[in-house]
Chain A
């Protein structure tokens, strides 16, 4: 079982990484993450929005209402300068963690 802290960390990294490519609304954001991770990371509505609201409060992302071409109003999220700043150390931390785990599993199998 993955601890909530680790889960939250990966989820935040996923959201920030995907938003780096451009603004997205919640539903599309979840779809994009699912597609780009081949279904390994899936966000239900119940998991996604509390996290988006928390990240918004931390000013890593900013949401604003936009009307699409078909007249549908959606809240689009974009990365803020603080979010961009947060992304690079977060990526580094996770890369380090994955490298450490890989080393560990290699040693375990050797």
Chain B
């Protein structure tokens, strides 16, 4: 009897999946082939005939490899778009638009004191749980898991964090090009202070909204499921 696992591994070589997933596919297909072969043998087929009938289940291994990849990835990409990118960007755009609208209406960031004086736009902060819950709701409606929904919720903060982290080396490079001596401790304090006001606190507000949407959605689905059962 051939080593089915090795046979599948060789014939499906180049399967473009991550290592763990590839191992699972190899193991599953090998197990299927092994059972087919054993069944043919029990029916009275010779070793060679059993082997031929078993292998005849796959006419084209390249085609199978392509189909498996498509099945595993195609839907994943579509789901990611529906469950993370669309709700995430929507949360980001809506919260940013609301912030601009507030500032255009004359609302100014308030000075608060944590690590030195920092600023925070209070009405915007109050609106964030709503935007967070909206992002989470859209993600959950698209079939997203709780984790994905919460990730979509805090997407604006992740985007701002990336921007903050980019600003830091860019600022240092500008100072270096200009030849001026930058004081790292001042830059770090400013980053920390603004990071709290514009990242951590808004992140917590968005998460609060996201969590409530997740809890409400789960409660609603479980009560709906109970009715169906």
Q: Which residue of B lies closest to A28 (CB)?
A: B35
Check B225–A81 contact: CB distance below 8 A.
yes
Check A45–B58 contact: CB distance below 8 A.
yes
Check A27–B36 contact: CB distance below 8 A.
yes
For B75, give its contact among A26, A27, A44, A58 (CB under 8 Å).
A58
Residue numbers of B with Cβ under 8 A of A are 24-25, 27-29, 31-33, 35-36, 57-60, 63-64, 67-68, 70-72, 74-76, 79, 143, 225, 228
Check A59–B143 contact: CB distance below 8 A.
yes
Chain A residues near B29 (CB-CB < 8 A): 45, 49
Question: Could you pull out 10 A-B pairs where Cβ atoms are within 8 angstroms?
Answer: A25-B31, A44-B57, A49-B32, A50-B64, A53-B71, A57-B71, A57-B72, A65-B24, A73-B31, A82-B143
Check B79–A45 contact: CB distance below 8 A.
no
Q: Which residue of A lies closest to B68 (CB)?
A: A50
The count of A-to-B residue pairs whose CB atoms sit within 8 angstroms is 64
Chain A residues near B67 (CB-CB < 8 A): 46, 50
Whole-angstrom distance between the Cβ of A55 and the nearest chain B Cβ: 9
The CB with the most chain B CB atoms within 10 A, among A49, A72, A85, is that of A49
Whole-angstrom distance between the Cβ of B219 and the nearest chain A Cβ: 15
| Known contacts A27-B36, A54-B71, A57-B72; is-contact A75 B28 (Cβ 8 Å) | yes
Check A51–B71 contact: CB distance below 8 A.
yes
Check B76–A27 contact: CB distance below 8 A.
no
| Known contacts A50-B68, A53-B68, A54-B71; is-contact A26 B225 (Cβ 8 Å) | no
User: Once bound together, how far apart are the Cα atoms of A81 and B76, in whole Å?
Assistant: 19
For A45, give its contact among B32, B70, B72 (CB under 8 Å).
B32
Chain A residues near B60 (CB-CB < 8 A): 46
Check B70–A49 contact: CB distance below 8 A.
no
Chain A residues near B225 (CB-CB < 8 A): 81
For A74, give its contact among B31, B33, B59 (CB under 8 Å).
B31
Chain A residues near B72 (CB-CB < 8 A): 53, 57
The CB with the most chain B CB atoms within 10 A, among A44, A53, A74, A81, is that of A53
User: Once bound together, how far apart are the Cα atoms of A54 and B63, in whole Å?
Assistant: 15
Check A49–B31 contact: CB distance below 8 A.
no
Check A26–B28 contact: CB distance below 8 A.
yes
Q: Which residue of A lies closest to B221 (CB)?
A: A81
Q: Which residue of B lies closest to A82 (CB)?
A: B143
**What 7 A-B pairs are tightest by C-beta distance, nearest first?**
A57-B75, A50-B67, A53-B71, A54-B71, A44-B57, A45-B57, A27-B35
User: Once bound together, how far apart are the Cα atoms of A25 and B79, in whole Å?
Assistant: 25
Check A57–B27 contact: CB distance below 8 A.
no
| Known contacts A45-B32, A58-B75; is-contact A50 B70 (Cβ 8 Å) | yes
Q: Which residue of A lies closest to B78 (CB)?
A: A57
Whole-angstrom distance between the Cβ of A16 and the nearest chain B Cβ: 16
Check B68–A45 contact: CB distance below 8 A.
no
Q: Which residue of B lies closest to A30 (CB)?
A: B32
